[in-house]
Amino acid sequence: MNADAVVSIQGVTKTFAKANVTALENISVDLLPGEFVSLIGPSGCGKSTLLRVIGDLIEPTTGTVTVNRKSAHEARLARDYGIVFQDSVLFDWRTVAKNIALPLELLGWDRRRRAERVKEMTALVELSGFESHHPWQLSGGMQQRVSIARALAIEPALLLMDEPFGALDEMTRERLNLELLRIWHQLGSTVVFVTHSISEAVFLSTRVVVMSPRPGRIRGIVDVDLPQPRTVQTHENPRFFELVTAVRELLRGIESAEEDGTLESELLAAEEAT
Amino acid sequence: MTTIVEPVPRGAFTRRVGRHVGDWIPALVVFGLGLASWQWLFPWLGVERFLLPRFSDVLDAFWTQRDSLWSAGWFTFKEALGGFALGCGGAIALAVAFGRFRRVGAALMPLAIAANAIPILAFAPITNAWFGLLSPWSKIVIAAVLCFFPVFVNTLRGLTSVQPESIELMRSYAASEVDVFTRVRVPTSLPFVFTALKVASVLAMIGAVVGDFFGGSTEALGIQIESSVQLSRYEEAWAAILVASILGIVFYAAIAAAERRALSWHPSTRGASE
């Protein structure tokens, strides 16, 4: 275990007893400060489960997770991370400003301090002027930017993202990828990014963790040595294609767990219900 | 149950009123035609007075008997209001409990559904025996029981129809259960609750008037309708029905207004085209 690690995962296994499925098996990996790490794999490989284990939203069956040198549980209680889901999970009854301020309200910040931070955050995600809009008045891409602003409002050292751009169209997605990289450079936080787009993973990440399904294991880790900052031209870099091929090779031969019926989302839902 | 959508287009006041008048024209035309046939067509076709007295005669009775009619109306309206408050209050309280203790809720749900299938109005003569013929409580209880189920089911559905990600988001902020309830569950449930309250307002009036039919104070509207018919004063019976209808519509409109105020953020009340 690396002493500097922001996230340290040691021998994590997760079995969903009810469905009798091993979602994660013996996962060990350290994430260093400022890294942008993607988790990639076919549906059912446990990448969303792993993200939730890091966030202490799911407890591992065995193994330990430390975040900021604390247990994952302590880190959650200390609000050490922000999270972004595939759905923006914005509250329709709150304006953009109030959605972003939600975690600050829970922290007990006063109104003035909240307003200042909200202003910074809307500027960061380039949504200044939309503070008093309601979420349903915004496009999908804008909603997801609000969601990112909300996650970053508490200035977490760690940002967890569960397929944040998976529901967006290709063009919006590429624009938000660039925006995310700009924000990441600006803030220097560590990012864990779940995706099943190979090119997205390679384009964004400093490392790509490739996972296999049933049980979810780490198949391999690809270091992405593309120059920073990444730009639109990065997509045309020959090295980009080599790395995409490397990730694809690792993924090849992994059978999709979708064929055996249950999807990871269903497992998570089943677990929620207990 | 579907929400009744009443869009309020924004913009200049004149344009708003203009749109509204336009929206109302078809309904007003049909209403006017109905009244005209009531007044002239049916008597001309030979419909007897005891089946349907002329509208002008009903209006006449409505005016000359106004004091006793409105005092009877108020008497029965108070019964309806009491039943509404009791039934809806109990339903919301129980829904909160069922939502909090899911297992208990799920275990008792079949009982609630079975109880709903009982034709409540059949109990009206018995509630008279329980609370005394002249007590308003026998009618309040009927109205309350009628209101209970739709409010209970809708509130429970509203409180539990929260996206799992919303709960995960709140957990990631280490939010307390009270925070999750007040900031997520309650606002999510409000559109459901108001839909049910509107239904309940109608049911409460029905319960109170029907409760009156089985005996009670001569001050009650239901009793007045019944005795007017027995005395062949059909115009007065119809005038009393008119009073009951006006009170019912005012009751419904008051709740609809409260809904629009409480759900000012909701797309259906704001005009989602912006």
Q: Which pLDDT score is estimated for A259? A: 46
Q: What residues contact residue B96 under an 8 Å CB cut-off, 6+ apart?
A: B155, B159
Residue B274 has a pLDDT of: 35
In terms of Cβ atoms closer than 10 Å to its own Cβ (0-12, 13-18, 19+), residue B11 is: exposed
Buried b (16+ CB within 10 A) or exposed e, A215-254: bbbbbeebebebeeebeeebeeeeebeebbebbeebbeeb
- Domain limits of chain A? 1-80+160-169+178-192+203-254, 90-155
User: Angle at which helices B186-213 and B137-160 pack, to 10 degrees?
Assistant: 160
Chain A nearest C-alpha distance from B250 (Å): 27
For A86-144, the pLDDT digits (tens) are 899 999 999 999 999 999 999 989 999 999 999 988 988 888 889 899 999 898 889 99
Could you list the mean pLDDT of each consecutive 10-residue stretch along chain B, which spans 274 residues?
A: 42 55 86 90 82 87 89 92 95 91 84 83 82 85 92 92 91 91 93 94 92 82 86 88 93 93 78 41
Spatial separation of the C-alpha atoms in residues B251 and B88, rounded to whole Å: 14
Q: Across the interface, do B168 and A76 touch by the CB < 8 Å criterion? A: no
> Under a CB-based contact definition with an 8 Å cutoff, are residues A217 and A211 in contact?
yes
β-strands A190-195, A158-162: how paired?
parallel
β pairing state of A217-223 and A81-84: unpaired
Class of domain A1-80+160-169+178-192+203-254: alpha beta
Contact B265 A94 (CB under 8 A): yes
What are the pLDDT digits (tens) for A65-74? Answer: 999 889 999 9
| CA separation for the pair B174, B176 (Å, rounded) | 6
For A148-169, the pLDDT digits (tens) are: 999 999 988 899 999 988 888 8
CATH 1.10.10.10 fits B54-270, yes or no: no
Q: How close A232 comes to chain B (CA, Å)?
A: 32
Over the stretch A27-70, which tens digit does the pLDDT of each residue have?
899 999 999 999 998 887 888 999 999 999 999 999 999 998 89
User: Do A75 and A21 touch, CB atoms closer than 8 A?
Assistant: no
The residue type at A59: E
Q: Least CA distance to A103: which residue of chain B?
A: B173
Buried-state track B156-165, b at ≥16 Cβ within 10 A, e below 16: bbbbeebebb
In angstroms, the separation between the Cα of residue A91 and the nearest Cα of chain B is: 8
B175/A106 CB distance under 8 A? yes
CA distance B91 to A40: 47
pLDDT recorded at residue B156: 92
The answer to whether residue A108 neighbours chain B at the CB level (below 8 Å) is: no
Q: How far apart are CA A264 and CA A45, in angstroms?
A: 8
The verdict on A91 touching B (C-beta cutoff 8 Å) is yes
CB contact under 8 Å between B183 and A102, yes or no, is: yes
CB contact under 8 A, B171 and A76: yes
Question: Which residue in chain A is spatially nearest to B263 when comparing CA positions?
Answer: A93
Q: Name the pTM for this structure.
A: 0.81
A221 vs B: CB within 8 A: no
| CA triple B4-B80-B247, angle to 5 deg | 65
CB-based contact, A119 to chain B, within 8 Å: no
Please give the order of strands across the beta sheet that includes A207-212. A81-84, A158-162, A190-195, A36-40, A207-212, A217-223
Q: How far apart are CA B269 and CA B274, in angstroms?
A: 12
In total, the C-beta contacts within 8 angstroms joining chain A to chain B are 59
Q: Give the tens place of pLDDT for each residue, A179-238.
A: 889 889 888 899 999 998 899 999 999 999 999 887 888 888 988 888 888 888 888 888
